[in-house]
A and B are shown apart, each in its own frame.
Chain A
Amino acid sequence: MTDGIVLAYLGAALAIGLAGSGSAIGVGIAGTSGAGVMTEDPSKFGLVLLLQALPGTQGIYGLLVGFLVLTRIGIFAGTPATLTLNQGLQILNSSLPIAIAGFFSAIYQGKASAGAIGLIARRPEETGKALVMPAMVETYAVLSLLGSILLLNGIVL
C-alpha cells in the first residue's frame, strides 16, 4: 500500500467523521429543544422531527464524499489504485470542505433549528418561515459538498 492511499483514507475518514460529528451535535441541540416543545404539545411531533432532521444532512454529505473518495481509489472494486503522495494529498484536500464546513454548519444549523422549533411552538402558522431559517445555514453545507465533489472530480489518477 502506498503513502498516497493512506492520505486518501484520511480524507475519507475526516469527511465522514467530522461532518457526522457536527450533525450529531446539531441534531442533539435541535432534539433537546424539540423535546421541550413536545412536553407542552405532543401533537407537534411531526413538525419537530422534521426540523430536528435538518442538521442531519451534513453527516450524509460527509458520508457521500467519503464514499466518492473510496470509489475513486477503487476500494470497492477490490483493486486499490496506487497513489503517489501528491495524489493522496489532493484527495485529502478535496475532502476538507465538507469535513470542515459540514462540522460547523451542522452545529449552527442545529441552533437555528432549535430556534425554529421554538417559533412553531408559539406560532404554528409561521411554519414555512421556520423551515427556511435552518435551510439558510444548510446552504453552506451544500456549497462545501459541491466544492468537495468538484475538487475530487478534478483529480487526475
Chain B
Amino acid sequence: MSISQISKFHIFAHLSIKEPLLDKLQRLGCMEITQIEKEKEMVFHNWRNIEEDINKNGTALKLNNVKFCIDLLSNYGNGEKKGLNSLFTSKKVYRYAELLKIVEQFDYENIFIQCKSLDSELNHLKLDENRLITAKQEIQKWQELDLDFKEIEQRKYIEYTLGTIAKKNFDNLVQDIEHQDKTAVTQIIKEEKNRLYIVFIVLKENFSKIEPILQKHHFEIYKYNYPFTGTPEQILKTISEQLNIVAKKRFEIEKLLTKLHRDNQLIYPLHDILSIEQEKEEAKKLLKKSKEIIAIKGWIQDKDILKLQKKLKEHFKAYEIEFSKPEKGEPVPIALTNHNLIKPFEIIAELYSLPDYHEIDPTPILSVFYFIFFGLCLSDVGYGASMALLSYFAIKKLKLEKGAIKFFKLLYYCGISGILGGILVGSWFGDILNYLPPQLGNIREFLVQRLALFQPTDNPLPLLILSLALGVTQVFTGIILKFIDNIRNDKLYDGLMDQVSWLLFLTGIILFMTKGMMPLFMGNISLMITVIGALSIILTQGRAKNNILLRLGSGILALYDVTGYLSDVLSYSRLFALGLATGIIAQMFNMLATMVNIPYIGFLLAIIVLIVGHTFNLLISGLSAFIHDARLQYVEFFTKFYQAGGIPFRPFSLKTKYIHVEDT
C-alpha cells in the first residue's frame, strides 16, 4: 500500500527479433523504456543508436496527415464526440490483430487528398466571404449616395470628392469653402455619432483651391477600391448575391465533408494504430545496438516481473534479461499501488504532485482526512446522497474510461462523506424537514434533534472547536510523518530535534490552553512540557550555525514559527464556515420556494425553484468543498512532510485516443 517497488531491467536480444520483441513489450504494456546513457553504462561503450531505420516507413508523416483529416472531419457530422461528451460515450473495442487488418485495407491517402483539397477550398471561400463582408460594411455607409462610384471618377468638368469629417469641424469647413467658391455643393450622405459622410461637388478647375481647405479641417478622403460597378445600392445587391453563392458553395462542401466523415469512420482506428506505431518508433530511439545485439533498458514494477519473464520465455529464445534495484539518486518513475478503497484519493495527491520514490506515499492518510473534511464542508444529507447516487449511477450505467471511473468513485465517497456530515449537523436539503406535515413531526424530531450531534446555527462553537481540533490532528500527523521519514532515512537525531521538539512544545501549549477542562495537576505538567519543548527548540534549531550566540539567537527566532502553526490550525475553521454556508443557502432556497404563493401553479413553481436552487447550491458547495479540502491537504498538511516531485511511471503500451484495443 504505497509506492510500487520498481526495478531496473536490461534486455539483450538478437537483432533479428527486435521488431517482434518490441511489439510484444508494447502489447504487454508493463514497462517504461528509458535512454541508455553511455557514460554510466560502460558496457555500451561501442554501441550505436539504431536510428537508421527509424521513420523509414514515414509513420510520423502519416500520423500527421491522419490527424489533419480528423481535425477537419470531426467538425462535420457526429461521428466521434468531443470534449465532455467523450466521458459519457464508450469507445469502440477492436482486437489488436483484427485492427491491423482493417487498417491495411483502408485507403487513407485518397481521403487525405480529398480532405486537403476540400479544406483549401473551404479556406478560399472563407477568405472570399470575409472580403465581401468587409466591402459590404464599407459601402453600406455610402448607401444613400445616388451616384456610381466608377462613373463619377470619369467626369470631365466636375470633381466629386467623397469623405468623412468630424462633426465639430463641419460648419467651419462649409464656411471656408463658401468663402472660397460659391458654386461648390456640400451634401451630407450619412450621419454617425461623431462623424459625417460627405460628398463635395465642385468644378474641376476650382478643386485645387478647395483641397487645402479640406486638409486643414482634417477631412478624410474616401477612395473607392472595389471591382464592383454601379451605385452603392446596386453594389450592395451584387455583394449579397455573391455572398449567397459563397454560402451555397460552403454548404455543398460541408455536405461532402459530412459524407466523407460518415463513410470513413475507420480513420479513428487508423489514427490510433499509427500512434501506437509512432510510440514504438520513439522507443527505438532509446535503444542501443551492437553488431548483433540490441539492448533495452527500462523500469518495471516488481509485481509485473514474473508475468514479463513468462511471456518472454513463451515467445522468444535469443534474449537475456536481468533485473536490478534502483540506485540512490536515480530518477525512478513512480506508480502508486493502493487498496481499491482508497485508490480514488490518489487523484488528490496526483493533482499536487507524485511523491518521490524514497518517501512515504501520502495517499492512505490523506484519504482519511480528505473524506472527513469533505463531509464537514458539504455537510448535507440531501446533497451528499444526490452526489453519491449520481456517481454510483455513472459508474454502473455509463461506459467510462478508467480515469473517469476513478474520479466518479472519488465523488461517490465524497457524497457518502457528505451524508455523514449532514447527519452530524442535522441538515437535510437545509431545513426541508421543517416543511413536513405535522404528523411526521416525530421523524423530523429524530433526524434533526436526536441524530444530529451539533446545532451549528444555534450554537456554533462546538463545531468550530471540532474543526480546529481536526486541524491540530492533521498538523500533528504531518509532523509525525516527517519524523518517520527522517527515521527511514537514518536521520533519527534530526527527527528528534526538528520534529519531536516541536511536538512537545505544541502539545504543551494545547494542554495549557485547555487546562480548564482537566484536573488541576495537568496545569503544571503542561507548563513543564511547554518549557521543555521550547528549550529544546531554542537549543537545537540553530545547530547549523557555528557561533554559539548566533546559534541561540536563531533558536529563539525559530520559536516564532509557532505563529505559522497557529495560522495553520485556524485555517481549518473553514470546515465549519463552509459547512454552515451549505446549510444556510439551502435554507434560503427552501424559504424562497415557500414564498411562491400563486394559486394553482404555485406548487409547480415552488418545485422548480427547489430543483434549480438546490442544484446550484450542490454545485457551488461541492466545488468549494472539493477545492478547500484539497487546499487544506496541500498547504497545511503536505508542507509539513511532503517532498513530492516524483515523475509518473509511463509504461510503453498500446495507447489509444479514440478506440479501445483488446489484446489477449
Contact = CB atoms under 8 A, between A and B. Distances in A.
A142 B577 contact: yes
Given A67-B588, A68-B584, A142 B574 contact: yes
Interface in B608-630: 620, 623-624, 627-628, 630
Nearest to A150: B460
A139 B623 CA distance: 15
A64 interface: yes
A64 B588 CA distance: 8
A108 interface: no
Given A68-B584, A129-B352, A132-B635, A54 B577 contact: no
B630 A128 contact: yes
Contacts of A129: 352
A149 B460 contact: yes
A138 B628 contact: yes
A7 B3 CA distance: 59
B581 A60 contact: yes
Given A43-B82, A60-B585, A64-B585, A149 B580 contact: yes
B405 to A, nearest CB: 18
- A-side binding surface: helix, strand, loop or mixed? helix
A67 to B, nearest CB: 5
B97 to A, nearest CB: 33
A60 to B, nearest CB: 6
B42 interface: no
B634 interface: yes
B518 interface: no
A60 B582 CA distance: 10
Contacts of A2: none
Contacts of B350: 128
B578 interface: yes
Given A127-B351, A129-B352, A142-B628, A53 B574 contact: no
B369 interface: no
- B-side binding surface: helix, strand, loop or mixed? helix
Given A132-B634, A142-B628, A53 B577 contact: no
Nearest to B594: A76
Interface string A130-151: 0110011011001101100110
A3 to B, nearest CB: 27
B460 A131 contact: no
Nearest to A145: B577
A142 B591 contact: no
B84 A145 contact: no
Given A45-B83, A132-B634, A149-B460, A54 B627 contact: yes
B215 to A, nearest CB: 41
Interface in A33-83: 42-43, 45-46, 50, 53-54, 56-57, 60-61, 63-64, 67-68, 76
Contacts of B634: 128, 132
B623 A50 contact: yes
A128 B351 contact: yes
Given A135-B627, A136-B631, A139-B574, A57 B84 contact: no
A32 interface: no
A81 B351 CA distance: 50
Interface of B: 82-84, 350-353, 460, 464, 570-571, 573-574, 576-578, 580-581, 584-585, 587-588, 591, 620, 623-624, 627-628, 630-631, 634-635
Given A129-B352, A135-B630, A146-B573, 4 more contacts: A61-B581, A132-B635, A136-B635, A149-B577
**Leading 4 A-B pairs by shortest Cβ distance:** A128-B351, A146-B577, A135-B631, A142-B574
18 contacts: A43-B83, A53-B623, A60-B581, A60-B585, A64-B584, A67-B584, A67-B587, A128-B352, A131-B630, A132-B627, A132-B631, A135-B628, A138-B628, A139-B631, A142-B574, A146-B464, A149-B577, A150-B464
